[in-house]
Amino acid sequence: MPIYLGLDCGGTSARALAVDENGTVVHEGRSGPANLASTPQEKIEQHLKEAIEGCPKVDAAVGGFAGLLTEADRRRACKVIRSLCKGAKVDAIPDWAIALEAAGPEFDGLFIAGTGSVVCSRKHSGYVKSGAGGPIIGDVGSVFAMCQRAIALTLLEPEGLPMTQRLQNAMQEAYGASDEDGVLAYIYSQPSPAKEVCRLGNAVAQDAADGVAYAVRASDSSDQDLAGLVVRHFTHYHPELKTARIAGAGGLFRISHHHEARLQAMMNGELQTGHNAKSYGLELPAHQTVEFTVTAISPQPVEGAILVAKGLIS
């Protein structure tokens, strides 16, 4: 009976899951990070070896890797998997692609809004994506983007918007300071500044739900950017669609339940037909307007890797 191995190789941890033909789990394992762009090669090899230690011999293995950007990255990842899974058919794809597969065929596409963000969908026999530039180039609509704007609006403007006690407490807990210089000094001294910025996510989301000015502005502008990217992605890559079922995943939905409805309304309303359409490059004829539905989900990306692995020997 064939055994299939899925690997979810992220910047925080690597997860391994192996199942047999009936879907029975025969191995589970975890270890440290395995991001192709930021984790040293020897650590990737070590962590994947630890994650699959004790796994029975597998027939097919697929890894979904954070930081997989080029064909050279794919070959490097496949080489590591092949060295650990002797004789198995292997492949490596981006981590967002296994999340898309895990979401299931009932969805036309997926957007992930966590520390970073990406919009992705299937196209012909492969995948297409928009966004995913990282915090330096741009991850629109991410928790990072929302919190970055909240910090800018309250601390960096000449007349900063008032912050709540909740936000001050969150800054003190996260950074040991709530003034401009203290917050920036702490964030930039850390190995992952973007991750530090995201630590304000719960406070900003709660303030936005309460209607606090700085948080509403930060949340609204971030959501509009993400909604615009989703609309542009689907009108560009899938102009044939009249309706698009979109899955939303990531930390944005865990910290606030109102984003699901808000993003759907933005995609279907002001971004396509209202005053913001032109600024987003969305001057669409009526017959090209797409009706979007957004459903928040919590996919297990490693299960998507297993689905791809099954396809290798089907």
The per-residue pLDDT for range 217-239, each reduced to its tens digit, is 999 999 999 999 999 999 999 99
Query: Do both 8 and 51 map to the same domain?
Result: yes
pTM for this model (two decimals): 0.87
99 domain-assigned: no
- The dihedrals phi and psi of 159, each to the nearest 5 degrees, come to -120, 80
Query: Do both 152 and 262 map to the same domain?
Result: yes
Residue-level pLDDT at 115: 86
pLDDT band, very low/low/confident/very high, at 270 (cuts 50, 70, 90): low
Domain region containing 57: 3-87
Please give the Cα distance from 120 to 220 (Å, whole number). 22
313 domain-assigned: no
Residue-level pLDDT at 36: 94
Q: Is 39 helix (H, G, I), strand (E, B) or coil?
A: coil
Query: Do both 40 and 71 map to the same domain?
Result: yes
Please give the Cα distance from 258 to 287 (Å, whole number). 29
Query: Do both 208 and 273 map to the same domain?
Result: yes
Residue-level pLDDT at 85: 96
Sequence-ordered strand ranges (E) for the chain: 3-9, 14-20, 25-31, 60-65, 89-94, 109-113, 117-123, 126-131, 243-249, 291-296
Residue-level pLDDT at 209: 92
Question: Number of structural domains, the chain?
Answer: 2
Q: What is the DSSP letter of 282?
A: -
User: When comparing pLDDT for 270 and 8, which is higher?
Assistant: 8
Please give the Cα distance from 37 to 44 (Å, whole number). 11
138: left (phi over 0), alpha (psi -120 to 50) or beta: left
Residue-level pLDDT at 285: 47
Strand partners for 16: 7, 29
97 domain-assigned: no
Per-residue pLDDT reduced to its tens digit, 29-54: 999 999 998 899 999 999 999 999 99
Please give the Cα distance from 252 to 281 (Å, whole number). 25
Query: Do both 287 and 218 map to the same domain?
Result: yes
Query: Do both 76 and 118 map to the same domain?
Result: no
Residue-level pLDDT at 280: 46
Of the chain, the percentage scoring pLDDT greater than 90 comes to 81
pLDDT at 271 > cutoff 80: no
User: When comparing pLDDT for 314 and 88, which is higher?
Assistant: 88
50 domain-assigned: yes
pLDDT band, very low/low/confident/very high, at 68 (cuts 50, 70, 90): very high
pLDDT at 288 > cutoff 80: no
Residue given tokens 């230690």 in the structure block:
53
184 domain-assigned: no
98 domain-assigned: no
CB atoms within 10 A of CB 185: 13
Please answer whether residues 252 and 141 qualify as being in contact, where contact means their C-beta atoms are separated by less than 8 angstroms.
yes
The CATH number for 13's domain is 3.30.420.40
User: When comparing pLDDT for 260 and 78, which is higher?
Assistant: 78
Query: Do both 46 and 130 map to the same domain?
Result: no
Query: Do both 75 and 114 map to the same domain?
Result: no
Of the chain, the percentage scoring pLDDT greater than 70 comes to 94
34: which residues sit within 8 A by CB, 6+ positions away?
A: 7, 9, 10, 14, 43, 44, 47, 48, 63, 65, 66
